[in-house]
Amino acid sequence: MNRRDSIKSILLGSVATGLVINGCTTKTSSVDGLPEVKETPLYGRTEKEILRDQELFESDFFNEHELATIAVLCDIILPKSDPYVSATEAGVKEFIDFIVRDMEDQQIPLRGGIMWLDSFSNKLYNKEFIACTNEEQYDICDRIAYPEKTKPELIQGEVFFTRIRNLTLTGFYTSKEGIKELGYKGNTPNIWDGVPEEVLKKHGFEYEEAWLAKCVDQSNRGDIAKWDDEGNLIS
């Protein structure tokens, strides 16, 4: 099992399987004379929340260097692996960029972590992290990517990398591309032919022919069953 498959198996066995991606529409609304903003009713935003979202989208926190660093880290954590897209191709950089505007408690740890990363990279290779070769970047990440194996003087880097990794996985596996990769389809209609005959026989049961005709005949799958007052199936 490769690293990507390991990540997916962990997510499928955790609460991550309950996450869904939010849809959007072109419906608009306005509050107290403010400009109309795009509304996303599928995820239950109130009008005030919609306006706050607009304010967040119009604000900035990271500079270009910080965003470039985050993009490199995202693709180290989840690189492109045919047929799967990379983290940045799924919009994870933009996801993290929005998160820090929405959750201010993420700002100092992430900005400080990038500063630490560049400082450590300068000590090792005399250049900032994004200027390093791919091999050098992986060498740096390998030193801080494994909790309980990190050298004491690199714990700050470990904490930062863990935070970035968690955000990357959250952003990717709640994106359209990530949900597709997981194979999560939600509740979808299918065809049910009843309990298998061998299972029924094992427990001493069998279907009545009338039930089979009325309930398992797929040509009638759209019909609603009708019952009499005594609980007998009519049709």
The domain segmentation of the chain, as residue ranges, is 3-182, 191-235
| Residue that is written with structure tokens 């994004």 in the block | 130
pLDDT computed for residue 64 by the predictor: 95
Specify the higher pLDDT residue, 39 or 64. Answer: 64
From the list 103, 78, 43, 97, the residue with the least C-alpha distance to 178 is 78
pLDDT the model gives residue 97: 92
Share of the chain above pLDDT 90, in %: 40
Q: Which residue has the higher pLDDT, 200 or 122?
A: 122
Q: Which of 13-17, 104-108, 184-188 has the highest mean pLDDT?
A: 104-108
Q: Is 30 in a helix, a strand, or coil?
A: coil
Give tens-digit pLDDT for 157-169: 999 999 999 999 9
What's the pLDDT score for residue 56? 81
Using CA atoms, how far residue 9 sits from 20, 68, 187, in Å, is 17, 29, 20
Considering only residues 78 and 231, tell me which one the structure prediction assigns the higher pLDDT.
Answer: 78
Mean pLDDT within 49-63: 84
Q: Flag whether pLDDT at 186 surpasses 60.
A: yes
The most confident of 81-90, 110-119, 196-205, by mean pLDDT: 110-119
User: How many CA atoms, within 13 angstroms, populate the side-chain half-sphere of residue 23?
Assistant: 5
Render 68-114 in DSSP notation, one character per residue: HHHHHHHHHHS--BTTBPPTGGGTHHHHHHHHHHH-GGGHHHHHHHH
